[in-house]
Amino acid sequence: MSTRRAPTLEDVAARAGVSRATVSRVVNADPRVRATAREAVSRAVTELGYRPNRAARALVKRAPDSVAVVVPETDQRVFSDPVIMEMLRGISEGLEETPLQMVLVLGRAGRDTDRLERWLRGGHTDGAIVLSAHLDDGVTSALSEIGLPTVMIGRPPGPEQGLPFVDLDNVDGGRQATDRLVARGCRRIGTVAGPVDMAASRDRLAGWRESLDAAGLADDAVEHGDFSSEGGRLAMRRLLAAHRDLDGVFVASDLMAAAAVSELQAAGRAVPGDVAVVGYDDSPAAQLTVPRLTTVANPGDRMAREATVMLRELLAGRPVSSRVLPTHLVEGGTA
Amino acid sequence: MSTRRAPTLEDVAARAGVSRATVSRVVNADPRVRATAREAVSRAVTELGYRPNRAARALVKRAPDSVAVVVPETDQRVFSDPVIMEMLRGISEGLEETPLQMVLVLGRAGRDTDRLERWLRGGHTDGAIVLSAHLDDGVTSALSEIGLPTVMIGRPPGPEQGLPFVDLDNVDGGRQATDRLVARGCRRIGTVAGPVDMAASRDRLAGWRESLDAAGLADDAVEHGDFSSEGGRLAMRRLLAAHRDLDGVFVASDLMAAAAVSELQAAGRAVPGDVAVVGYDDSPAAQLTVPRLTTVANPGDRMAREATVMLRELLAGRPVSSRVLPTHLVEGGTA
DNA sequence: CCGCGTCGTGAGAGCGCTCTCACGTACTGT
DNA sequence: ACAGTACGTGAGAGCGCTCTCACGACGCGG
């Protein structure tokens, strides 16, 4: 019906009997406006239902006003979603005090690379934060080529594109987990590792290996899972079949670990009595098992927060370098 | 270092030896430009690395360009995250073909109402989609008061604010789940319901009741959980203690259902032999149990997609009315 | 050969806002 | 008393883009 033009600064100014500039000052909380004028203006604002036009504002102050948060569409089954939500929250909190809006860009990894790339080139945002480097190189290389200020969350697999990243110390996480197994007396320690194409998986595996090497134990009991529950179950089954003397397992994700625990129990092994288990992520899934999983913290929100700090640096024109944050073991009953 | 001003239309025009208008035409794929001019322009565009300024464009064409996706910060433990990601994906897909950007706005329900409200009033976006009506009324009423085109995903609890919503037919879902239990011969059917303050919980509970009433069975075995795993476990324990003759349970979420199954098994009841169980959500958690949960589909992405359609209607100035989408049972081994 | 329509193009007027600058007006200090 | 200094305010110039309008250069039919 009424396609009445939205009220502008001018309208408010007219109504309040002041100039556009004064209204602008009031709206932007500039202190040097007389109280009476201020009141007149705010009254006019509410009466007219004035809302500043973001585009016009953005046009004149060329301050960055939005960042793209690129989320590779995780395969449904990967179930890494809780971590993603955690990261989104972290970013949201990190951006809370800034005028930056977070623009979500989802894409099915692989399939949508082109569309994503085109969008990113479109200059819709002033920067980007890329979640989880599971993404094809297409997007990350496009990003570094475009020159859009970008921070990756999670170290990218493959050669580094020169893009700064934040990551958690997965090597140390794997080591701590395995150290715990060693410390409680396990002598035959296997691992259910993650997919080989992910940096986090490789790092955790490397940590496991380092710990075993340091303890002088064998490091040949390795099976890979896909971070899904079912994948974890199957990997555990293979591991158990290949190494019947297993007395400890480091599983690279809680979801897989939960499945591994139930698989072990189904096979008649008491956890942690016969086989001790340490998971990874400290996710809600860690609390599903009985007893509750011993796991490694993997605070996605901290990483995300750090990423926002780094991105703000980049937007301010200052260079940043990648950061690796520390992790720690979370006590549970399985190791 | 070089804070070189980004190239503008003018720069491109100068370089290509044409006017601003012509460049604009080329950039916007206006057909009535001679081939030679078109080429000159595109060359200049790539040479200069020209990217149109979104703000300037948005300023002149007052077409809506972004929608806020308001996500109440789910309590960590609620773990409803997978559903949220699903919805986000649905919105993303629904907006894919439009120029609309999705701006994520997270807020801890209750705590952040003020900030959220202020932000929404700020006119940063042209519309809003609100996920899960767990939110205090503050936000939804602010939204309807501001007059920002808004669609709710999930029927709001409490009195309706006049905001259109999409929802899944939770009453029918609860009924279908319970009908299944009745059909397989259960005579003493309980339910682990969700929190009383959520519309979805209440609806599912109502469906359970309708089914039992229709079958002439008792409908007094009710316990409430908080949708968390632990909450489900405890509720199941209470339910079992109060009604030892239970032979069927409808659990209002898969996460709680998975915990309920393990609780039943721990209590020596075979599932589905002694007690049949139907969950809700068809979430990844449904596949964690052995046997796999029988559950009710709860396609968040479909709802979300529908929400984008409705929002686009609203943005086009057309009125929309709320929609309730059908659900169906998903076969599993627990009922 | 003239008038008319068509096509490609350029000039220029905004879109709604911020911000600089200059201009009062009311204080201070001497 | 008067210069000096705030302080509050308004005028006006853009920000980079789109779009209307007018205009010259054609091609056509009469």
Cis peptide before A326 (omega within 30 of 0): no
Beta pairing partners, B113: none
Q: What is the CATH number of the domain that holds B39?
A: 1.10.260.40
A83-93 mean pLDDT: 87
> Is the shortest CB-to-strand distance from B5 to strand D under 7 Å?
yes
pLDDT digits (tens, 9 = 90+) for A198-229: 888 999 999 999 999 999 999 999 999 988 77
Radius of gyration (Cα) for chain A, nearest Å?
A: 26
> Is the shortest CB-to-strand distance from B10 to strand D under 7 Å?
yes
Nearest to B245 by CA among B278, B223, B279, B218: B218
pLDDT digits (tens, 9 = 90+) for A30-62: 888 888 989 999 999 988 888 888 889 888 888
How far is Cα A80 from Cα B198, in angstroms, rounded to an integer? Answer: 26
Q: A273 burial class (0-12, 13-18, 19+ CB within 10 angstroms)?
A: exposed
B222-243 mean pLDDT: 92
Tell me the torsion sign for CA atoms A256, A257, A260, A262. Answer: negative
Give the Å distances, CA to CA, from B80 to B119, B177, B227, B328. Answer: 25, 20, 8, 20
> Is the shortest CB-to-strand distance from B27 to strand D under 7 Å?
yes
| Residues B223 and B290 both lie in one domain | yes
Alpha helices in B150-279 (DSSP H): 170-183, 199-215, 229-242, 254-266
| Residues B140 and B214 both lie in one domain | no
Beta pairing partners, B190: B249
Say yes or no to pLDDT of B90 above 50.
yes
Say yes or no to pLDDT of A134 above 80.
no
Q: How confident is residue B274, by pLDDT bands cut at 50, 70 and 90?
A: very high
| Residues A141 and A224 both lie in one domain | no
Q: Do A284 and B229 touch (CB under 8 A)?
A: yes
- Residue position matching structure tokens 């073909």: B97
Q: Do the domain assignments include residue B112?
A: yes
Å separating the CA of residue B62 from the C1' of nucleotide C20 = 28
Q: What is the CATH number of the domain that holds A235?
A: 3.40.50.2300
Say yes or no to pLDDT of A160 above 80.
no
Q: Do the domain assignments include residue B335?
A: no
| Residues A174 and A163 both lie in one domain | no
Q: Are B6 and B51 in contact (CB under 8 A)?
A: yes
The domain boundary, picked from B39, B60, B81, lies at B60
B174-200 mean pLDDT: 94
Q: Do the domain assignments include residue A264?
A: yes
Say yes or no to pLDDT of B313 above 70.
yes
| Residues A284 and A190 both lie in one domain | yes
| Residues B180 and B281 both lie in one domain | yes
Q: Do the domain assignments include residue B2?
A: no
Q: What is the pLDDT of residue B78?
A: 46
Nearest to A143 by CA among A85, A67, A201: A67
Q: Do B85 and A81 touch (CB under 8 A)?
A: yes
Give B 250-269 residues with CB within 8 A of chain A.
258-259, 262, 266
| Residues A38 and A120 both lie in one domain | no
Nearest to B65 by CA among B92, B99, B111, B31: B99
Q: How confident is residue A323, by pLDDT bands cut at 50, 70 and 90?
A: very high
Q: How confident is residue B228, by pLDDT bands cut at 50, 70 and 90?
A: confident
Å separating the CA of residue B297 from the C1' of nucleotide C17 = 49
Q: Are B66 and B125 in contact (CB under 8 A)?
A: yes
Q: Which nucleotide is nearest to A20 (CA to C1')?
A: D10
Q: Are A291 and A334 in contact (CB under 8 A)?
A: yes
Q: Are B69 and A104 in contact (CB under 8 A)?
A: yes
Give B 229-248 residues with CB within 8 A of chain A.
229-230
Q: How confident is residue A77, by pLDDT bands cut at 50, 70 and 90?
A: very low
Tell me the torsion sign for CA atoms B247, B248, B253, B254. Answer: positive
What domain count does chain B have? 3
Neighbours of B23 (CB within 10 A): 28
- And the tokens for B82? 């997978």
How far is Cα A1 from Cα B33, in angstroms, rounded to an integer? Answer: 37
Q: Are A78 and A226 in contact (CB under 8 A)?
A: yes
How far is Cα B63 from Cα B25, in angstroms, rounded to an integer? Answer: 18
Which protein residues have any CB–strand C distance under 7 A? A 5-6, 8-10, 20-21, 24, 27-28, 50, 52-53, 56-57, 59-61; B 17-22, 25, 31-34, 36-38, 56, 59-60, 62
Q: Do A73 and B89 touch (CB under 8 A)?
A: yes
String of DSSP letters for B39-86: HHHHHHHHHHT----HHHHHHHS----EEEEEEEE--GGG--HHHHHH
B245-257 b/e (C-beta count within 10 Å ≥ 16 → b): ebbbbbbbbbbbb
Give B 269-288 residues with CB within 8 A of chain A.
284, 287-288
Q: Do the domain assignments include residue A281?
A: yes
Summary mean pLDDT of chain A: 87
Q: Do the domain assignments include residue B314?
A: yes
pLDDT digits (tens, 9 = 90+) for B23-75: 999 988 888 889 898 999 999 998 888 888 888 988 898 888 889 998 876 65
Task: Please give the residue range of the domain that contains residue B228.
Answer: 170-296
Give B 81-120 residues with CB within 8 A of chain A.
81-82, 84-85, 88-89, 92-93, 96, 101-106, 115
Single-letter code of the amino acid located at A139? V
Polymer length of chain B: 335
| Residues A187 and A83 both lie in one domain | no
Q: Do the domain assignments include residue A328?
A: no
Q: How confident is residue B269, by pLDDT bands cut at 50, 70 and 90?
A: very high
- Residue position matching structure tokens 């490694």: A296
| Residues A42 and A80 both lie in one domain | no
Q: Are B282 and B265 in contact (CB under 8 A)?
A: no
Sheet holding A101-108, edge to edge: A323-325, A165-168, A150-153, A127-131, A66-73, A101-108, B101-108, B66-73, B127-131, B150-153, B165-168, B323-325
| Residues B307 and B240 both lie in one domain | no
Cis peptide before A64 (omega within 30 of 0): no
How far is Cα A209 from Cα A175, in angstroms, rounded to an integer? Answer: 8
Q: What is the pLDDT of residue A75?
A: 56
Give the Å distances, CA to CA, from B254 to A251, A303, B77, B132, B250. Answer: 24, 30, 14, 17, 10
Q: B59 burial class (0-12, 13-18, 19+ CB within 10 angstroms)?
A: middle
At B59, give phi and psi (nearest 5°).
Answer: -65, -45
A3-29 mean pLDDT: 87
Say yes or no to pLDDT of A1 above 50.
no
The domain boundary, picked from B20, B40, B60, lies at B60
| Residues A159 and A305 both lie in one domain | yes
Q: Do the domain assignments include residue B237?
A: yes
| Residues B146 and B235 both lie in one domain | no
